[in-house]
Every structure is written in C-alpha cells, then in structure tokens.
C-alpha cells in the first residue's frame, strides 16, 4: 500500500464513527511561504476546491503560527498548514487538534544583513534577530541554536534581541536596518541571499542535519468527527499537491510564484525560487523522532513544561515507516 493510500485509509478509519457531514464551508489556514507550497499549489491548481465538491473552500492567509493558532483556538479554522512548534504547543494545551500529515521539511535558513558584521553564529551576540513569531518553529530552533553557542535571548537574560517579523516583511526590515539577522522560512532566505546578504546557517546546519519537519497539516478534531468525507477529500488533494511539487518542480515554481505574488505583492525570481526549493523537501509523511525532539526544544525554550505523548495527537497513518 502506498503512503498516500495509508494516510487516506487511516483518515477514514479515524473518523469512521462520525455520523453525517454538516459543513458547507472548509476554512483553511496557511502562510505565504515556500514551506507551505502544498497549500499554494492546492489553491492555485484548484485541487482543494475540486476535492471538496459542493463544500466551499475558504482559504485564510496568516503571517505566523501564533496568529493562526489563535484563530484555530477561537474555532475560526478547520484545517491548517502550520509549523510543528505551534501545533505541538496547541495540542499540549488542550486544543482540539490532530496532526494528520506532513507538508515540508527543512527550508529555513539563517541570514545576516550584509553590513551587520555577523559571520558566524557566535556573532549573533548583541544583535537583533528576526523570527516569524515568538513561540513559532523558527523561534524555538533559534533559541536552541543560541544555547549551543553559549548565548541567550534578551528575555532569558542574554543579549540577543529576538523579535517577530512576518517572513515576507523581513526584506523591508533588512533594508531599513531594523534587524541584523533572521531565521526565516524559504523563499525569503534565498531572496535575501540574492540581494547580497550573508548566509550563516543553511537548512542542514541550523538543526538536526536538515532532517526535521517545517510544516505539518492539522485538523480540528470536532470538525473531523462531523465531516470525515471532507477531511479525507482534503488529504487526497494535499497528497496530489505534494506529488505535483515532487514530480514537476519547474512547473511548480511558476505556480508557487503566481500564488506568492497574489498574496504578498512580491514576485520572486524563478532562479532564486529554484535555490529555495532545493533547500526544502515536500512530503506527506511525519518523522515522530523529529517531532519529539521539537517537543523537547519547546520545553527547553520555556514554551512548555513537559514533552507530551505525541502519538495521541498524530494520525497513525501519517507517520513515516
């Protein structure tokens, strides 16, 4: 049985006790980043709407995991693409969510402003470093990276100022000199690099040799229980988008670029986007060991008190074998 079928079958089994299908709209949360490319492709190619049939897709753009999870907690989102950090924190705090698939791995880099004087991780001392939002996946990774270098964020008693800047806005923040470096999802790292700024850490050196999830798919468990067919249909469309990304990378770059321009007003050079895609992997599978490591970093960063039993929050068929 293929992984795709394994995921879809598990989704059907998970929700087999639900009765009926009540939703006429599916509210989808995502970010305008390459690491959310399955969402961008699914929207631009019409995969999601076609799979959902008569149910209307209501896509909602967010700039960070923090703001998305606030909307999720308020019951405004049914299905979402989000980083593993916010997803794990949300589940541990009792939000009705389940992680149902992987979406992307790696795809985040540490870039320093060209005139910042930063040439290594240790040079981050005394500098201002942007992450998409406090408590998100890149923030958690950065705090671990700082610890490895004997540094701390200012809020933890150190001298590195960690500040929240939406990824698409970090270009303007660099231009204005408001931040000295950023740990940012692609393609914004590749865009900064193309502008002459310096890469300090690539997707492999930032953490775990690049073997980590950057984006996962979550569903509201109450929505899933009431709408099993819609969840299964969405996962099929998600799997189709991932397959398209992996089988047609050149065509996918054009599709992604069109969606990014609609969402951010910024058109990325296709050669730059190609460089960013090389640093990002797309998959429907999830690495449980990597997710457990993320959960441990959550604790280390002070965003959680303990590592939860993640198997309770993950659709079994979504795990890599």
| Residue range of the domain that includes 155 | 108-210
Q: Is the domain of 202 the same as that of 179?
A: yes
For residue 307, the 8-state DSSP code is -
**Residue-averaged pLDDT of the chain:** 91
Is 13 among the domain residues?
no
Q: Please report the pLDDT score of residue 320 as a whole number.
A: 77
Least Cα distance to 88 among 315, 316, 313 occurs for 313
pLDDT value at residue 39: 98
Q: What is the pLDDT of residue 234?
A: 97
Tally of CA atoms within 13 A in the half-sphere of 265 that contains its CB: 2
267 and 206 fall within a common domain: no
Q: What is the pLDDT of residue 273?
A: 97
Do 119 and 199 belong together in one domain? yes
pTM (two decimals): 0.89
Say whether both 64 and 112 belong to one domain. no
Residue 307 lies in a domain: yes
Claim to verify: residue 102 and residue 215 sit in the same structural domain: yes
Q: Are residues 103 and 250 located together in one domain of the fold? A: yes
Boundary (domain end) residue, out of 179, 210, 241: 210
Q: What is the pLDDT of residue 321?
A: 66
Residue 237 dihedral angles phi and psi, to the nearest 5°: -65, -40
- We report the CATH number of the domain holding residue 161 as 3.40.190.10
The answer to whether 273 and 253 are in contact (CB under 8 A) is: yes
Which of these three, 210, 231, 253, is where a domain ends? Answer: 210
DSSP output for 5-26: HHHHHHHHHHTTT------SEE
Overall domain count for the chain: 2
- Of 154, 179, 210, at which residue does a domain stop? 210
Q: What is the pLDDT of residue 21?
A: 55
Question: Does residue 1 belong to any structural domain of this protein?
Answer: no
Q: Which residues of the chain have pLDDT under 50?
A: 1-20
The pLDDT of residue 41: 98
For residue 320, is it within any domain? no
Q: Are residues 221 and 308 in the same domain?
A: yes
Strand, helix or coil for residue 153: strand
Same-domain status, 132 and 178: yes
- Could you tell me which residues come within 8 angstroms of residue 154 by beta carbon, excluding any fewer than 6 positions away? 160, 161, 162
Burial (Cβ within 10 Å: 0-12, 13-18, ≥19) of residue 49:
middle
């Amino acid at each position: 049985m293929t992984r795709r079928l394994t995921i879809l079958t598990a989704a059907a089994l998970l929700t087999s006790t639900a009765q009926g299908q009540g939703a006429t709209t599916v509210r989808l949360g995502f970010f305008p980043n390459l690491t959310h490319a399955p969402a961008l492709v699914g929207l631009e190619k019409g995969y999601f709407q076609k799979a959902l049939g008569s149910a209307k897709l209501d896509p909602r753009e967010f700039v960070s995991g923090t703001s998305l999870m606030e909307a999720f907690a308020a019951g405004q989102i049914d299905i979402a693409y989000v980083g593993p950090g916010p997803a794990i924190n949300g589940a541990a705090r009792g939000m009705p969510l389940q992680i149902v698939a992987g979406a992307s791995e790696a795809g985040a880099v540490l870039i320093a402003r060209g005139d910042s004087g930063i040439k290594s991780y240790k040079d981050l001392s005394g500098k201002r470093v942007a992450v998409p939002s406090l408590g998100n996946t890149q923030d958690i990774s950065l705090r671990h990276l700082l610890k490895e270098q004997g540094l701390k964020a200012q809020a933890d008693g150190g001298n590195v100022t960690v500040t929240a800047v939406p990824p698409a806005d970090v270009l303007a923040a660099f231009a204005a000199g408001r931040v000295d470096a950023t740990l940012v999802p692609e393609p914004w790292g590749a865009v900064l690099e193309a502008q002459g700024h310096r890469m300090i850490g690539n997707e492999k050196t930032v953490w775990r040799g690049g073997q980590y999830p950057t984006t996962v798919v979550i569903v509201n468990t109450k929505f899933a229980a009431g709408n099993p067919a819609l969840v299964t249909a969405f996962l099929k469309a998600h799997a189709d988008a991932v397959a398209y990304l992996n089988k047609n990378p050149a065509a996918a770059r054009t599709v992604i670029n069109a969606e990014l321009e609609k969402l951010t007003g910024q058109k990325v050079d296709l050669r730059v986007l190609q460089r960013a895609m090389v640093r990002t992997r797309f998959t429907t599978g999830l690495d449980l060991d990597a997710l457990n490591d993320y959960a441990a970093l959550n604790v280390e960063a002070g965003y959680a008190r303990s590592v939860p039993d993640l198997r309770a929050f993950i659709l079994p068929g979504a795990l890599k074998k």
